[in-house]
Amino acid sequence: MKFGVVVFPGSNCDRDMQDALEKDLGKEVIMLWHKDKDLSMFTTDDCIVLPGGFSYGDYLRCGAIARFSPMMQSVIEFANKGGKVLGVCNGFQILCESHLLPGVLLQNGHQQFACKNVFIKTETGDPLQIPIAHGDGRYYADDRLLDELEANGQILFRYCDAVGNVNLADNPNGAVRNIAGIRNKAGNVFGMMPHPERATTEALSNTDGRKIFEILGLN
């Protein structure tokens, strides 16, 4: 599996993602400029990554302008053909704006930028410590959609405490039902607010991010 990392004006986690994938996970990475369109070097067994940052300065809404970039038109087509797409932080926002994932990301409930380590877990797995850095990471959807996500197993990660208890006290942004990440119905598009690429090396005393890529089948 090789990876393409899209670079938008305002991306600031694109090189972090490249470094983690290449040096820590041993993957081939191709950097993709937002004005380009060509994804012919990828197959549906590969993965396109939308990294964190502030694409187009977060003008209008986070991810709203990036959704219309030439490269995103190709990414949408790639995803609709079954190709894997991962959006992290601002990338998650772009996926929701592009309607590749349902719901929206709103301003954090406490109206402050959150930058710290948090714990997240799958429905059945152990808690993993992954950093966050966002001001608009509060996932929101109505109850009908939330019930549908839960019924379809589309909720990937929830915020929890260090032993795996899911509670409001350990929700860093007020996301509904403590949701930290979701996938689409087809299971090939993934979005999450925490940054797994910042937890893949022993140099940072945390390799839980590697487990995230394993859980998503991107290893």
pLDDT tens-place string over residues 91-103 = 999 999 999 999 9
Q: What is the pLDDT of residue 27?
A: 98
Active site includes 197? Answer: yes
pLDDT (average), residues 154-159: 98
Q: What is the pLDDT of residue 60?
A: 80
pLDDT at 61 over 90: no
pLDDT tens-place string over residues 28-42 = 999 999 999 999 999
Spot the catalytic one: 13, 47, 62, 89: 89
Burial (Cβ within 10 Å: 0-12, 13-18, ≥19) of residue 41: exposed
Active site includes 89? Answer: yes
Quickly count: other Cβ atoms within 10 Å of residue 199's Cβ.
Answer: 23
pLDDT at 180 over 90: yes
Active site includes 195? Answer: yes
CATH 3.40.50.880 correct for 3-215: yes
The residues, ordered by sequence, that sit 6+ positions from 105 with a Cβ below 8 Å of its Cβ are 62, 63, 92, 93, 96, 136, 137, 138, 139, 140, 193
